Structure 1
């Protein structure tokens, strides 16, 4: 994430299940830090982060015993940890999603240990409050979760159904959560990631790893424009994806979107869209440089720049389990 235009932060689970991070300030080098010690996190669970105001960051992860853990940072103070949901609340390979729709509010979601869709919200001056969006058996326990807030008074959440469907729920201020379906059973990999963006207030976009029934998956998406229904499409039906890959997405300007994922040969792939054109797929990193089941993350801290990070595979410059990155500046080359 990027809380201010001149800074970026990333986090990952360490080899001994610690929670590790690194931050960058313009003009300096990347600096590493540890948020939680060895044994704190699930070795294969998801993470989520938001910055609700420029001087603060919130981070969440799946605990080693299936809890939902969090940590917050305020400028001038050290990181402080807390727990949102107790041990056994979530599958150890589960995922998380989070948004901050207004500066004094945070929202977090996860898939419960029995396939429910769980959430918690925080309002400034209050405590975290937990709630349920969908009952047991509604979601794939290892499937992706994604969320956006396209306007301050609304939130959208998506997850992979237990049968490989693509499910959603929306909330409008003053009304309860309402559920709907984007894609039917067997549309999505029950082990694959999801990503979403809202590039303009009247539109949303969500992507997932499709279930092709083979070792090579594809990348599918759906878009919504205010006043219309959800429409589905394929981004990479032939380009391929690892069935267990994560997905990252950004919209650096209102007329463009970018997504990234790990391909079947453990290369990182990308696709970009510019208004008026079609999706274009490209290779983002070398074959073998990504981990087939590893995460991918991205930010655009300024309109003319993008950054991506992923967990390295055997062919990565510093080997398997490393943290790899690439940056792009408008009218300049990509660099690793």
Structure 2
């Protein structure tokens, strides 16, 4: 068995985790407030913040886990996909830490890790299961046959669901990060107040670019007719947009479950923290007789615990990498 240090630095959160024999002992996350005034993540600023945060975060993770550096037997890290500069910081730290202590390195695919986050706590999914992975950069339906036997059976043709939430927030004048604010306001609104189009995409793939455009034109036209439209209808707009995004996601998920005859269904990624998605999924599960798996909030957004658990399963099968490894902004699934 093993004690593993894991590093996550794919975007704008620096995170470190300690995993011992498959149990997460610590999961420390440092967020980056520097991006708020720009309305989105600035890659150069993100990589600089990772440089400032990585050592304190790792020290905090080790301290919280109540272990010593000498107890660590392997180092796992996010190789990709993500922002190249951000990935470079985490990869370089992991390589340096491992080299100084002659420890094996474990590279982890960020998207695999989101799915394997379901194996941190009980209840754990049974194979095979479908995982709807939704974030700011990805929207995928993945057929998971084993820990490392995964197949993308549906994905977005253009923009991700998380990006649609964030773009909506920006159109509505909400501060960054806007997705959680849309969710919060939607809880107070009427999801049937306004109607937004559903993309007609064949198969199991998604598209959100057209929906974003329709929201932009809707707000523009309403504001022309009534300058106070947003102020008077903010919660209803958020609820209606959230309803459309979630129904698009779950319609395809239902189609996939029926197509592959799978009754165990999971969600993962930052958007899996959305309360609307969680509630609609539970409602659909009751209708379709699914067994549903929803991760704890702390394991939905980018975090090192998911890298640690993925690293643990790779450690068990001796899947290590060398010091010549480089990060990848785009990484094959």
* Structures share fold, TM-score greater than 0.5: no
Q: TM-score, normalised by structure 2?
A: 0.30
Q: Which structure exhibits the higher relative contact order, with contacts defined as CA atoms closer than 8 Å and separated by 6 or more residues?
A: 2
Q: Which has the larger radius of gyration?
A: 2
Q: TM-score if structure 1 supplies the norm length?
A: 0.29
Higher helix proportion: 2
